[in-house]
Structures are given as C-alpha cells and as structure tokens.
C-alpha cells in the first residue's frame, strides 16, 4: 500500500535525541515519548501550519472547550520493525478513516488525508530508531484532536488542534486476563458515541473498572445499556467467544467500536477456514456454554494488546474458569497478525504499509 503526499510539513528537529536515556527493557505503556511530535491547527475554517517539532508541553487556555465540553477524539496505531530494519504501519488508512468518523460525531472538522500521511512519513523518518525490532516491541502512535477555542459557552469550538505522539512500547498485557460481566454499568447506548473513539467514552469506564479490580478482575465485559443481557466489549477491546469450533463476536453499531484488530481477526479466521458468527451474544448463552463445556475460549482484540486471552469471568458472584488449551484460536490469530506486522510472513491482505 502506498500513498503519495504533496503537502509541505514544517520540521523542527531536536538538537540532541533523548533515545540514549530510555530503558527500552522496562517501558511502562504510554508514558515514554519519542523526540518529535506533530501538530496542526484549525482556525478561520481550515487546517493550517502543519508542523513537526520536539516533543514538549503545550500552552493552552484553561477556558479551552476541550476541558469543559469534552470535544476530543483519538486513535491508536502502531509501527513495527522487521529484522532488516524496515518499518511498517498496520492498516493506517483504517485508522485515518475512523478518526474522521469520530471527529464528525463530535462536531470536529475532519482532518485532510494528505497531511495525515505526510506527517506520519516524516515522523517515522525522524524517529525510526525508537522502533525496536522483535515480537512485542513497537512504536505506539497516538493521533488526536482537541477543541482549543477559549470560552465556556455550550457550543462547538471553532478552533482545534490535531496532534500525533509516538511512544515506544512492549507487550501490553503479559498474561491471561480475568474479567467480570457488567450487571449495572454500560459503556454506551443506542444513538450515543460508542462507535467513536471519543475521549469521554474511556474516562467513563475508569470508575466501574476500579470496582472490578477491587474484586480481583482486570477488566469488564460491558453489557448492553437496555437490558444488560448481551455482551458487547471487553474494557477497551472488542470481544470474541469460541463456542465449540465457532468464533462468535457482537456486530458493530452505535454502541460498539469498529475495531481494526477485530476486523483483522475475522478476516484471518475466514482465511483459516474457521466458522465466524457475527451476532448478538447473550450472557445466558455464554454462562450455559461454560457450564456444558462448549465454551473453549474468550479473548479481546485491540491495538495495544493485539490479542488478550481471558482465563476466567465473573457473573452474579460466581467465577467461571475457562479450560486451558494448547490449541487456542487466540494464539493462532496473534501469531498470524504478528507475522504480518513484523514482516515475518506473507501479507495476503495488503495490510502492511512501509514507512522506511
């Protein structure tokens, strides 16, 4: 996949890289950032002054509307490096398309494709050394847009800032995860913003997730807001269930994010000849399946964790352990995804995007 870019991005390089100060063997996800970042401002009706400059703080009014009305959207992407030092993104056009879908829902002006990909190429050129090779290593990429107009009137902003940050990363989850089925809280509702990567979606998850952690679970599998009878997402991930040899996942819509890893898993499963069933998944069905032994595995999918196997779930004060297996679909999918991402195998779907 290739995209030609014509827009000029101003570049201000760091005088000295900080890379030698970084302990790449002990990274805490999302807390270390590379030398450069990208920013572009929307004002007077257009996006202008696209600039790459040294990573550092912003000066922003405390009255900026992002603080008062939550006009903020983001994406999560990764860059990978193969054993020959070549760098790749994974399905970046899907991320670009999705951030503009999110932006439109939050009344934020859509960002131009040519500037997005020019910025991405230039950032990768500058900070390629921050991408370490080897399975589990990556450069997490965080594009986001925020409302910057000063004013506390309840109306959309007329000024915005679009930025891209780069953060070196290792494996997000190192073991299987224990989850609890939500019985009271929901992630989103019909007609809401669940399908968008709006910042407020994630902030609203923190409190119920903290309650789950107090009971020994790492994450929540969210249920529908109307009845709490249907399973929809797991924490910040899409969710999959394997019942016998069929892979089941909930359909996307108003409430469920159109996950790029989710779409990739479904495509790989189809390629492997695995039966997939995209439909509503009830709590009762999964509880019955774990009791009769037909539930073989549950796993989440997302950019940060890629694939996150689930070892047990809690529901109505009972904990159900999932069977241990050496033939999990989740392991096969993760291996297939990583072989594409790290250029270790064929890419029959044209998902690899070279950036240097």
Contact 279, 261 (CB under 8 A): no
Mean pLDDT throughout 148-162?
97
Q: Is the torsion defined by CA of 256, 202, 341, 297 positive or negative?
A: negative
For the chain, what percent of residues have pLDDT higher than 70?
97
pTM of structure: 0.95
CATH assignment of 177-325, among 3.40.50.1950, 3.50.50.60, 3.20.10.10, 3.40.50.720 = 3.20.10.10
- pLDDT surpasses 90 at 174: no
Instruction: Give the domain ranges of the chain.
Output: 10-170, 177-325
Give 307-347 pLDDT, tens digit per residue.
999 999 999 999 999 999 999 999 999 999 999 999 999 99
55-85: burial string, b at 16+ Cβ within 10 Å, e else: eeeeeeeeebbbbebbbbbbbbbbbbbbeee
Mean pLDDT throughout 223-229?
95
Residue 7: per-residue pLDDT: 59
- pLDDT surpasses 70 at 269: yes
| CATH topology match: 10-170 vs 177-325 | no
Mean pLDDT throughout 158-186?
91
- pLDDT surpasses 80 at 1: no
Residue 221 CA to residue 209 CA, distance in Å, equals: 10
Residue 175: per-residue pLDDT: 72
- pLDDT surpasses 90 at 2: no
User: Which residue has better confidence, 171 or 77?
Assistant: 77
Share the mean pLDDT of the chain. 95
Domain made up of 10-170: CATH architecture = 2-Layer Sandwich (3.30)
């Amino acid at each position: 996949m290739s995209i030609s870019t014509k827009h000029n991005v101003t570049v201000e390089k760091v005088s000295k890289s900080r890379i030698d100060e970084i302990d790449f063997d002990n990274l805490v996800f999302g807390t270390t950032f590379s030398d450069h970042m990208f920013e572009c401002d929307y004002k007077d009706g257009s996006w202008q002054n696209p600039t790459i400059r040294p990573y550092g703080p912003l000066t922003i009014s405390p009255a900026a509307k992002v603080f008062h009305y939550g006009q903020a959207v983001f994406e999560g992407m990764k860059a990978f490096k193969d054993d020959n030092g070549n760098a790749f993104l994974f399905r970046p056009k899907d991320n670009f398309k999705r951030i503009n879908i999110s932006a439109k829902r939050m009344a934020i002006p859509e960002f131009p494709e040519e500037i997005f990909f020019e910025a991405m190429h230039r950032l990768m050129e500058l900070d390629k050394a921050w991408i370490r090779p080897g399975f589990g290593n990556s450069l997490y990429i965080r594009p986001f847009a925020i409302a910057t107009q000063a004013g506390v009137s309840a109306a959309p902003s007329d000024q915005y800032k679009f930025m891209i940050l780069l953060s070196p990363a290792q494996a997000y989850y190192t073991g299987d995860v224990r989850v609890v089925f939500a019985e009271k809280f929901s992630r989103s509702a019909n007609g809401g913003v669940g399908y968008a990567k709006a910042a407020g979606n994630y902030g609203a998850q923190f409190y119920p997730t903290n309650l789950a952690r107090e009971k020994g679970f790492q994450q929540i599998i969210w249920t529908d807001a109307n009845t709490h009878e249907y399973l929809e997402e797991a924490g910040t991930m899409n969710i999959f269930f394997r019942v016998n040899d069929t892979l089941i996942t909930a359909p996307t819509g108003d409430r469920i994010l159109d996950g790029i890893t989710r779409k990739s898993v479904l495509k790989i499963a189809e390629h492997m000849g695995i039966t997939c069933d995209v439909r509503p998944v009830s709590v009762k069905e999964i509880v019955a399946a774990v009791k009769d032994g037909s539930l073989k595995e549950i796993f989440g999918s997302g950019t940060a964790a890629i694939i996150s196997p689930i070892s047990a779930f809690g529901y109505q004060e009972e904990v159900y352990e999932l069977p241990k297996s050496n033939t999990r679909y989740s392991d096969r999918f993760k291996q297939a995804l990583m072989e594409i991402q790290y250029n270790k195998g064929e890419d029959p779907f044209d998902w690899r995007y070279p950036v240097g």
